[in-house]
Structure formats: C-alpha cells, structure tokens
C-alpha cells in the first residue's frame, strides 16, 4: 500500500499555493502556471479516488482567483485520517 503524504508536506504545499498573495498583481498569473503542477503533485501524493477528485478540486482552487486560501492538501490529509478510522 502506498504511503500517504505527511501533514508537514501538506502544509508546505498549501503554503506554496498561497504564496502568490505575496506578489500583488503577478500572483494570479503565477497561479495559472502553478495550478497544473499542484494538481499533478496532489494526484501523485494521494493517488486513487482521493487523488483524482482532489486534484481536480485543487486545480480549480488554484485557477479561480482569490480561492488560494482553501488548504486542499491539508483537507485531503484530514479526510484520509478520518477515512482510516
């Protein structure tokens, strides 16, 4: 069975996705480039059904302006922890 990502990894990925707010005016353009990369990383990190659905949500969250605040990686981590119990 594939090892799921750690909480630290998920927090770092969410911080990277939110980092575009540090670049006023340029940040939303950065998100257009970051969205497919982030979605691919999400899919590879979580895999399976969670990875497929989550990567689509992650992609949309990065592409749609001002939605970067949603911590999709961390939410998926919490979902996986709850799902295991």
Question: Structural domain boundaries of the chain?
Answer: 7-84
Q: How confident is the model at residue 85 (pLDDT cuts 50, 70, 90)?
A: low
pLDDT digits (tens, 9 = 90+) for 3-37: 789 999 999 999 998 887 787 777 778 888 999 99
The model's pTM: 0.89
pLDDT digits (tens, 9 = 90+) for 31-56: 889 999 999 999 999 999 999 999 99
Tabulate helix, strand, coil % of the chain (nearest 5).
Answer: 75, 0, 25
More reliable by pLDDT, 85 or 59:
59
Question: Among candidates 44, 54, 42, 52, which has minimal Cα distance to 79?
Answer: 54
């Amino acid at each position: 069975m594939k090892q799921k990502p750690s909480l630290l990894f998920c927090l770092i990925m969410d911080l990277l996705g939110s980092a575009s707010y540090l670049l006023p005016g340029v940040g939303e353009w950065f998100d257009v480039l970051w969205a497919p990369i982030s979605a691919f990383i999400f899919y590879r990190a979580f895999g399976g059904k969670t990875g497929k659905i989550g990567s689509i949500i992650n992609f949309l969250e990065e592409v749609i302006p001002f939605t970067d605040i949603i911590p999709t990686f961390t939410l998926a981590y919490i979902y996986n922890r709850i799902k295991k119990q």
